[in-house]
Amino acid sequence: MSLLKTGILLVLGVVIVAAKSRYDVLVPDFEELAKNRTDKYFDGLDKKQRDLLVELVMADEAKPTPKAVEATQDPAVFKKAVRLSADLLLEHKVDRKLVEFIVEMLHQTNNNTQFADEDEQIQNELYVIGKILAKYDVLGEKEKKLADQIFPDYANAMYHVPQLREWSKAPEKHSIAYFRFKNQLQG
């Protein structure tokens, strides 16, 4: 299991886009605002996908329903939910770089790309971590604190582990060290 998947299991809410209170830190009553906007994001979705989008937007991150989890596995639904969240945050004058970080985090942690070759898989995971860290590093101190509040388990597991930062700069050189680190995390 990858570090990213481990993180998703630790914080299933990472993939629940408009989950209870996650974005209330940035926009009060965020989930209520999101619920009232879902119909504007229905273009290109069939009836089942529309239902899944509504379910995802209404999901409580602490107790996501099976349908909300299923919604995260449908790329079209997931992209619409991420777009809805990003649009709402930007409308409420949330810092653009913070919104870009949130979008990157959501897309990368919901990325189910699997490689048959274990070394390739590990290099890909480090590449993904590098993409997230690059978006995190350009944030101001205030925005970093907000990012840490929005994704608390990731803040502990990833942003503040200096080795991950170094390894992600040259994945091909550090895949063995990362493999050992990952196995330590998984016990």
77 within 8 A of 52, measured Cβ to Cβ:
yes
pLDDT (tens, 9 = 90+) of the chain, 187 residues, equals: 444 443 433 333 334 444 455 788 898 888 888 888 888 999 999 999 999 888 888 776 667 788 888 888 899 999 999 999 999 999 999 999 999 999 998 888 887 778 888 888 888 888 888 899 899 999 999 999 999 888 887 776 666 678 888 888 888 888 888 888 877 766 5
| Residue 152: its H or E element | helix 152-154
pLDDT at 14: 39
pLDDT at 29: 85
Separation CA 119–CA 130 (nearest Å): 17
For the record, the structure tokens of 111 come out as: 């990325």
Please state the φ and ψ torsions of residue 9, each to the nearest 5 degrees: -65, -35
Please list, in sequence order, all residues whose beta carbon lies within 8 angstroms of the beta carbon of residue 89, skipping any fewer than 6 positions away: 23, 26, 27, 98, 99, 102
Query: Where are the chain's structural domains?
Result: 3-185
Separation CA 35–CA 17 (nearest Å): 11
pLDDT at 17: 43
Whole-structure pTM over 0.95, yes or no? no
Other residues' Cβ atoms within 10 Å of the Cβ of residue 35:
13
pLDDT at 61: 67
Question: What does the DSSP assignment read for 19-57?
Answer: -TTTTTTTSTTHHHHHHTTGGGG-TT--HHHHHHHHHHH
